Chain A
Amino acid sequence: MSTQSQYKYTKPLPEMDPEDRPYWQSAKEHALKVQRCDDCGAWNFPPRPLCRKCQSAKLIWTKVSGRGHVYSSTTQHHPILPSYTKDDLPYNVSIVELEEGVRVISNVVGCPPDQVKIGMPVEIVYDDVTDQVTLPKYKPRAN
């Protein structure tokens, strides 16, 4: 079953380093977590072995609000891999800044790509692309 659905999904999937695995596990559980430093309180993303503010190793995977805004945004018009067909294009790719202050790259979905603007409030949606992998994505939200 799992192999069947993975076979259908041909776009790139995260390869999941040991450092990253808790992020993807939390996405799969639809409760996204990001590393937070237990010593200085700083949120860290992308995942790192040490807090980039204070170098503490006490990084705790902590649930985030899932709310934020678009920090920067682009629309992809060119197929970058054979697994992206004309039906997929154009699509949005954004840097979303979460309320916690961390920035993530994702897709803003649920509206046409040309309606995604810098500053737009967004909230998380979970896209279960395979049995194993859930991609956190974002959709517009009322401010």
Chain B
Amino acid sequence: MGNLRGKYAIVGVGETKVGKLPGIGTLTLHVEACKKAIDDAGLKVSEIDGLLTNQPLHDPFRTYSVVVAHSMGIKPDYSLDLGLGGATPVAMAQHAAMAIDAGLATAVVCVHARNQASLHLLPKQGMGVTRAYHGGVRDGCEDFEDPYGVMSGPGHHSFAAARHMHEFGTTSKQLGAVAVATRKHANMNPSATMYSKKLTLEDHQKSRMIIEPLRLPDCSLMSDGGAAFVVTSAERARNLKKKPVYIMGMGNHQPFASVMDAETLTTLGGAVSSKMAYKMAGLGPKDMDFAQIYDCFTITTLITLEDYGFCKKGEGGAFVEGGRIEIGGELPVNTHGGLLSHAHLEGMTHVTEAVKQLRGGDVEPERQVKDAEVGVVSGHGGYASTHASLVLSNRPS
């Protein structure tokens, strides 16, 4: 397979309402998101021959991509359920491009929806917390974590945050700067869960501790909702309804399987994955007009910004301060409000937001990054152990 730079494009995006949506099924959210993305692209459902899903862990299905496809009336030639946790949506764009390049499909819908906010599973007595929160699906190391009263996501990221503070002197206020910047963007986005809730650094510092050093606003939301996007060839994209957003670079790297066998917790998969994506794109961090950085916790944003070369390792704390990552700043980050303040759909809306920013005019004017031409999207998941990167541009070369 040759270089895919600029050969494939995202041509349609769709988002459902997000927040707490009791009574709406996971499948309904998937179908709504898919339909919106296909309509947005100006394609007919019959023109879709590929579909990628990310198993909703709160409502797990077997062969989920096939279930969703047939709920849409699609008989896919190419369909898979991908499982890289929060790195999945970014990886989906990569796999869609690869499948089309391989001749397996011509137009692929990538979708994720979940009911994490309202389909809250009540843990059975004695059941491990990781399995309880993940619909009984195993993470692989829960036997060595659950008995000690630690939940995978918050636990792993608090370990990373504590190490970052220890190694580089990063502070809780600097984590707070990430939460505040992200919230400001959500306050400009009427579809964000936290649209009408302001957050100051003082609020952050007074908020309750969840798992040290992470306070409540350092942790992402629990959300219901869905989002989807459509990938097709650049050639075909140019004849469709919307301005194409080209996939210029991609990378993927999973450096460990458990925080217990990670060499370090302060450099993650993004360090390798971003280099791969920049190399393919022929671009670097200085070329990026914005970054949509997976932000399950504020520390994830901070470490990923370092790993992506926006500042040196250890300098992420200072980098995120002073409005640098806000719209109007040097590098706007998570312009929709991120997982922290928009919604947690495992990073699907980081992709759809990047596409909207690069089309121009698809978001509220105050939220639009001026003259945005190139942006980077990160996906991160598992035990802080999976990572995928995407460089997108509205220029094919």
Interface size on B, residues (CB 8 A): 37
Check B155 for interface membership: any CB of A closer than 8 A. Answer: yes
Chain A: minimal CB distance from B141 (Å): 5
Binds A, one of B50-58, B69-77, B145-153, B274-282: B145-153
B261 and A106 within 8 A (CB):
no
Check A88 for interface membership: any CB of B closer than 8 A. Answer: yes
Interface size on A, residues (CB 8 A): 40
B123 and A82 within 8 A (CB):
yes
8 Å CB interface, B211-268 against A: 211-213, 258-261, 265
Check B182 for interface membership: any CB of A closer than 8 A. Answer: no
Given A81-B132, A91-B149, A105-B148, are A15 and B209 also a contact pair (CB < 8 Å)? no
Check A126 for interface membership: any CB of B closer than 8 A. Answer: no
B148 and A93 within 8 A (CB):
yes
Check B119 for interface membership: any CB of A closer than 8 A. Answer: no
B260 and A103 within 8 A (CB):
yes
Chain A: minimal CB distance from B279 (Å): 28
B141 and A46 within 8 A (CB):
yes
A77 and B208 within 8 A (CB):
yes
A10 to B146 Cα, complex, angstroms: 12
A93 to B148 Cα, complex, angstroms: 7
Given A74-B211, A77-B208, are A83 and B261 also a contact pair (CB < 8 Å)? no
What are the interface flags for B178-209 relative to A under an 8 Å C-beta threshold, 1 for contact and 0 otherwise? 00000000000000000000000000000011
B159 and A74 within 8 A (CB):
yes
A73 and B211 within 8 A (CB):
no
What are the interface flags for A43-76 relative to B under an 8 Å C-beta threshold, 1 for contact and 0 otherwise? 0011000001000000000000000000111111
- The interface residues of chain B lying within 8 Å CB-to-CB of A95 are 159, 259-260
A14 nearest CB neighbor, chain B only: B143
A12 to B58 Cα, complex, angstroms: 20
A74 and B259 within 8 A (CB):
no
- The interface residues of chain A lying within 8 Å CB-to-CB of B162 are 72-74, 118
A75 to B208 Cα, complex, angstroms: 13
A72 and B163 within 8 A (CB):
yes
A83 and B211 within 8 A (CB):
no
A12 and B127 within 8 A (CB):
yes
Q: Which of A14, A80, A82 meets B149, CB within 8 Å?
A: A80
Check A13 for interface membership: any CB of B closer than 8 A. Answer: yes
Check A17 for interface membership: any CB of B closer than 8 A. Answer: yes
Query: Would you mind naming 13 contact pairs between A and B with Cβ atoms under 8 Å apart?
Result: A10-B125, A12-B149, A13-B147, A15-B142, A72-B162, A72-B166, A74-B158, A74-B211, A75-B212, A81-B127, A105-B144, A107-B148, A118-B163
Extra A-B contacts (11), CB below 8 Å, given A71-B163, A72-B160: A11-B147, A11-B149, A12-B127, A72-B265, A74-B213, A83-B125, A93-B211, A95-B260, A105-B145, A105-B150, A135-B147
- Residues of chain B having any CB pair with chain A under 8 Å: 123, 125-129, 132, 140-151, 155, 158-160, 162-163, 166, 208-213, 258-261, 265
